[in-house]
Amino acid sequence: MKFQEPKRIKKLLEQYTGTWMIAGGWAIDLYLDKETRAHKDIEIAIPRKEQRKIKSYLKNWDLKFIKSGTAMNWNDDHYLELPIHEIQGSHIGSEIEILFNEIDSDQWTYRRNPEIVHTLEKTIQSTKSKIPILCPEIVLLYKSKSIKEKDEKDLTSALEKMNNDQLNWLKTALLKTYANDHPWIGIIENEIV
């Protein structure tokens, strides 16, 4: 079945009243409306300010936050601030990774560089399968930090559909983050019409 994992997450979160979106490689595939590669896991992005809401919603799950590469128990009264941004959850054979994003009422802010922002309207996108995703330009910005083969594949796949506004935003964000020292900048420049 097409998009089985994202559909599982959509069903899991169908009663959740907060904001969520698929992130990572699955977001790229949902954006393209086709599965371009195998995926080992699935991630969702939520606003950091909703962490207690998602924790309460997933109250039967074993949720751990990642600090300096170590999984730690997430106590009920522990509000997680930057640099902590990753939660790993498991429940009866199911797994999920939750990524806190710095989102307020109208803007997404890059946790690694607060000068890089995106309008909330463009940050969350709807897909043909009716599953919300983190927009591809932000997904690729996150993937740019430590490039693996799967990230190269995601970039190549996403470039098939991204428009000039998305490409220019990503190029500018990469320049602000890495100056001219990132291999994707030239690749993106070649795609801008």
All structural domains of the chain with their residue ranges: 4-136
SS3 at position 70: strand
Task: For the beta carbon of residue 76, count every other beta carbon within 10 angstroms.
Answer: 8
Using a pLDDT cut of 70, give the percent of the chain over it.
Answer: 99
Q: Which of 64-68, 72-76, 96-100, 181-185 has the lowest mean pLDDT?
A: 72-76
pLDDT at position 174 over 80: yes
Q: Would you state the structure tokens that stand for residue 94, as one six-digit string?
A: 């199911």
pLDDT at position 95 over 70: yes
Angle at 169 between CA 167 and CA 172, to 5 degrees: 105
Residue 193: pLDDT band by 50, 70, 90 thresholds?
confident
Mean pLDDT, rounded, of the chain: 95
Of 40, 67, 51, the closest CA to residue 16 belongs to 51
- Looking at domain 4-136, does it have CATH number 3.20.20.140? no
In the prediction, which pLDDT does 75 show?
A: 83
In the prediction, which pLDDT does 77 show?
A: 79
Residue 71: pLDDT band by 50, 70, 90 thresholds?
very high
Per residue in 34-55, pLDDT tens?
999 999 999 999 999 999 999 9
Question: What span, in angstroms and rounded, lies between the C-alpha atoms of 126 and 31?
Answer: 8
Instruction: Output the pTM of the full model.
Output: 0.95
pLDDT at position 109 over 90: yes
Q: Would you state the structure tokens that stand for residue 132, as one six-digit string?
A: 């919300």
Calculate mean pLDDT across residues 18-32. 97
In the prediction, which pLDDT does 1 show?
A: 63
In the prediction, which pLDDT does 180 show?
A: 85
Taken in order 80, 83, 111, 132, the sign of the CA dihedral is negative
